[in-house]
Structure 1
Amino acid sequence: MMKSAKRVILVLFLGLCVPATLFAQTLSDTEKERRWMVQIVDTLFDGETIWLEADGHDFLGIEMEGFDGHTGRAAIVVHGIGVHPNWEQVIRPLRVGLTEYGWHTLSIQMPILPNEAGGLEYVPLFDEVAGRFEAAIDFLQARGNREIVIIAHSMGSSMTMRYMDDVAEPPVKALVLVGMQGGRENMVHDNVSALNKVKLPVLELYGSDDLPGVVDFAARKASAAYTGGNKGYRQMMVDGANHFFDGLDETLVELVGQWLAGLDSS
């Protein structure tokens, strides 16, 4: 009973302390962002919540130091459609698990819409993506992190591709894209064309039981990367994995962690 009372007091206090710029003009559903924030703060056990600012709008991040302390390496973790930076599938396993591989992780809240919104309704929100990435990168660089990678899932992967298109020379060392859809028609972003232009090392992971929009375009995405001359691109299909890698959290973290470790020797 005492624990529950303390949580209620904490949430009420946070409600009073939410930055006013959380409600600044943005296409993202700020009320939903606030609800996610309250839920995260009330249940967070691994990491610390922080506030970042982009385009006059404050948004939530969760940072967690690497297991061995400061290494100068950091990973920005990007969630999928409509969820939050501590989502239990894919996102939390990666943001927590990669700290054991020496990575400082920062999982950030991306622009979101109400639950009933379809994927294509997110297209206007992509204009707000670069600002959130830049805020996260500035935060990490200010803390001495010079080696920064982006690890994204689903819609977050498409948002990452949009960021790569928008920024001529992003201060990012590598990309990990999990469950990224491809193609152009009925997609929020032309990820195939974007991959053709990316020159950074890229690990693209998807499951054998992934969404059709992911599996059906796997060959086309790989071809685009190789045609573009990206010798650092690698695509891996994980047998038995669905779009959320349910039941395969450890496998997912191990694949990503080992690939990132290999960047130092490549």
Structure 2
Amino acid sequence: MLAGKRIGAWALSACLCASAVWGAADYAREKKWADEILPGIVVGEPVTLTDAGGRSFLGLYTEARGAKGAVVVVHGMGVHPDWGLVGVLRSQLADLGYTTLSVQMPVLAAEAKPEAYEKLFPEAAERLAAAVAYLQAKGYRKIALVSHSMGARMSGYYLVNHGNPPVAAWVAIGHSGQFKEPQNLKLPVLDLYGEADFPQVLEAAPRRAAALERIAGSAQVAVKGADHFFNGQESALLAEVRAFLDRTLASSR
């Protein structure tokens, strides 16, 4: 189930023939992303993960020497696990002492609207569960989620609908809305966004802050001058994520 060797023909091609458990995602687009990015991967290694429904998907695993913990990195809508700021997080958090596993989340066609992605949340949750299980099998006990945009919404769904999963901390970057069922979040949360983020992120920030007041160890941070993608503000992004992970994982069991 959990292979750690470099992918050759790439297992996603088999996924296209397999029967779908959820049946809504664009698996051909996933394969296209994999075919495009795998030849250029120089940090970390591709691994094959398998969800509870038997569907394989791509992960990019980067091991940190003497790791302080492990992080599942979750990209946003319609992209891939080495895209933009997600690629920065997965590679540079490893340099900062955290093993990372950046995972391919289910995608829709390029023209799909954000609201259409909600039907993919159950499958997304199964993928995150598989990613956490992979890291546990590697011996990690302190595991965090670091997720961006739509990936943050998918992560929130996983955390409140997957039976109190073994995750010690969550960094939600550019969360486009409010936390669903915050009373069921049982871990410290960092709500991190840019001062010049998308309107829907900014408008819901007070409601997210109010929810976090009831979750021990949580915080909300707006990075000055940053947009939704933290263009030019990658160092500030990493500094905030690192500080939160260092603080929360050090105090977790």
- Alignment correspondent of 1:61: 59
Write the mapping of 1:93-112 to structure 2, written as runs, cut at 5 A: 93-112=88-107
- Alignment correspondent of 1:145: 140
- Alignment correspondent of 1:249: 234
Measure, in 2, the Cα distance between the counterparts of 1:153 and 1:115: 18
- Alignment correspondent of 1:200: 187
For residue 41 of structure 1, the aligned residue among 21, 38, 42 is: 38
For residue 119 of structure 2, the aligned residue among 124, 128, 139 is: 124
For residue 25 of structure 2, the aligned residue among 6, 14, 28 is: 28
Measure, in 2, the Cα distance between the counterparts of 1:152 and 1:206: 11
**Structure 1 residue 71: Cα displacement:** 2.8
Aligned residues: 242
**Structure 1 residue 97: Cα displacement:** 0.8
Change beyond 3 A, Cα 1:181–1:95: same
**Structure 1 residue 19: Cα displacement:** 5.2
Q: Secondary structure at the match of 1:207?
A: strand
Q: What does the per-residue CA deviation read over 1:94-140, in whole Å, with 9 as the maximum and x for residues that have no partner?
A: 10111122110000000100100001111211121221011111111
- Alignment correspondent of 1:238: 223
Change beyond 3 A, Cα 1:167–1:72: same
Q: Secondary structure at the match of 1:205?
A: strand
Measure, in 1, the Cα distance between the counterparts of 2:189 and 2:68: 20
Measure, in 2, the Cα distance between the counterparts of 1:261 and 1:70: 14
Measure, in 2, the Cα distance between the counterparts of 1:122 and 1:74: 27
- Alignment correspondent of 1:74: 70
- When normalised by structure 1's length, the TM-score is 0.86
Sequence identity of aligned pairs in percent? 39
CA RMSD, Structure 1 to Structure 2 (Å): 1.9
- Alignment correspondent of 2:3: none
- Deviating above 3 A after TM superposition, structure 1's stretches of 4 or more consecutive aligned residues are none
Change beyond 3 A, Cα 1:33–1:41: same
Q: What does the per-residue CA deviation read over 1:153-175, in whole Å, with 9 as the maximum and x for residues that have no partner?
A: 00000001110121221100000
Q: Where do 5+ consecutive residues of structure 1 fail to align? A: 1-10, 183-190
- When normalised by structure 2's length, the TM-score is 0.90
Q: Return the index of the structure with the highest Cα Rg.
A: 1
- Contact 1:71–1:145, Cα closer than 8 Å, also in 2: no
